Amino acid sequence: MKKWIIGIVAAGLLVPSLLLSFGCAPAAPEIGGKIVIGLVGEVWRLDPQQGAIASETHFHVNMSEGLYMRRPDASLQPALATSYVVSADGMTYTFTLRKGVKFHPSPESGKSYDFTAADVKFSLERFISEDLGAMMRSHLLTIDYVEVKDDYTAIVHLNTPDPVLLSKMGSMNVGPILSKQYYDEVGEEGFNTHPVATGPYKFVEYVAGEKTVLEVFEDYWGDLPTIKTIEFKPIPETAMRIAGLKTGELDIIQQVPALQIADIEATPGLHVMASTTGPTNSITRFVAPPVPIRPMTARITSFA
């Protein structure tokens, strides 16, 4: 199996995001296997609205979603919203929401709550609140409040026109949608211990200093990934991450110094994905593969 490295290849540069899945792309993909990713740091904040650093974003982008997301070419595509209309004065965005979306099951009740406009109102207003103190909240401070018109229509009211609002919503860790019903069920502490969202992977386990584990959410509204389990391991030492990749303990690692690239590329089965586009957020999301590359497939995406 080919191994991959996601890393810094020059000062200030991160390689593009790597979206990988094992196997081909059948209509009903067989789900199985596990990959282990060596990150430079801990996934300190399990709450998708609290994350901002790269190590956390690799985790959050697989389990949570916003109203819109980015395609591999960085263009916007609908996610939990299917369409939107902007008012003539630019002060409101009316979103039509995707029907039939389920949140990950509650570990308390076992119930998977339905996604509705009430979740959009709760999530966006929570995200911009001073009480939460989300690291990325400044991106959405043009939002005044969210109105629930009906279960599948949410109207976002602004305090000033914001022509790039949708673009910002498509960025990672900006306004991910959470379940209001689940949050009300377990409270702040319970949510921080076991977050749920709508992404293709659900949270399974966190062991401080050792690992954070995700597993496929089989009721996901979109195409299912073919990798069943993703394990993120915090390994701050570069030499240890590279050694783990070479021994097969790790399948993907993050942040490789430029001086190490030649040695890695000379190792059979290892490959460095590099970017020369400038500073980026490096994001890994595992999806159903569009094109087979040996036993593994990849799609590349990068956001400034």
**CATH (domain of 54):** 3.40.190.10
Predicted pLDDT at 283: 44
Residues 32, 175 share a domain: no
Residues 186, 73 share a domain: yes
Lookup result for tokens 């386990």: 205
Residues 98, 8 share a domain: no
Lookup result for tokens 């709508």: 198
> Sorting pLDDT into bands at 50, 70 and 90, what band is 300?
very low
Predicted pLDDT at 275: 56
- Does residue 116 or residue 44 have the better pLDDT? 116
End-of-domain residue from the set 140, 163, 195: 195
Residues 225, 137 share a domain: no
Q: Are 13 and 279 in contact (CB under 8 A)?
A: yes
Predicted pLDDT at 109: 87
Residues 127, 109 share a domain: yes
Cα 193 to Cα 188: distance, rounded to the nearest angstrom: 9
End-of-domain residue from the set 195, 229, 245: 195
End-of-domain residue from the set 175, 195, 215: 195
Mean pLDDT of 32-43: 93
Q: What is the pLDDT of residues 129-182, one digit of tens each?
A: 999 999 899 999 999 999 999 999 999 999 999 999 999 998 878 999 999 999
Q: Is residue 201 pLDDT above 90, yes or no?
A: yes
Mean pLDDT of 86-104: 98
Residues 133, 237 share a domain: no
Residues 208, 59 share a domain: yes
- The boundaries of the domain holding residue 87 are 67-195
Q: Are 14 and 210 in contact (CB under 8 A)?
A: no
Q: Is residue 291 pLDDT above 60, yes or no?
A: no
Residues 258, 187 share a domain: no
Number of domains in the chain: 2
Predicted pLDDT at 256: 83
> Sorting pLDDT into bands at 50, 70 and 90, what band is 274?
low
Nearby residues of 144 by Cβ (< 8 Å), 6 or more positions away = 157, 158, 159
Residues 116, 162 share a domain: yes
Lookup result for tokens 């996901």: 220
Q: Is residue 197 pLDDT above 90, yes or no?
A: yes
Cα 77 to Cα 82: distance, rounded to the nearest angstrom: 9
Residues 185, 76 share a domain: yes
φ/ψ (deg, to 5) at 42: -75, 150
CA dihedral (52, 168, 255, 62) positive or negative: positive
CA dihedral (44, 50, 52, 58) positive or negative: positive
Cα 191 to Cα 200: distance, rounded to the nearest angstrom: 18
CATH number, residue 179:
3.90.76.10
Q: What kind and span of H or E run contains 182?
A: helix 180-193
Residues 171, 60 share a domain: no
Cα 48 to Cα 53: distance, rounded to the nearest angstrom: 11
Residues 188, 77 share a domain: yes
Mean pLDDT of 185-197: 95
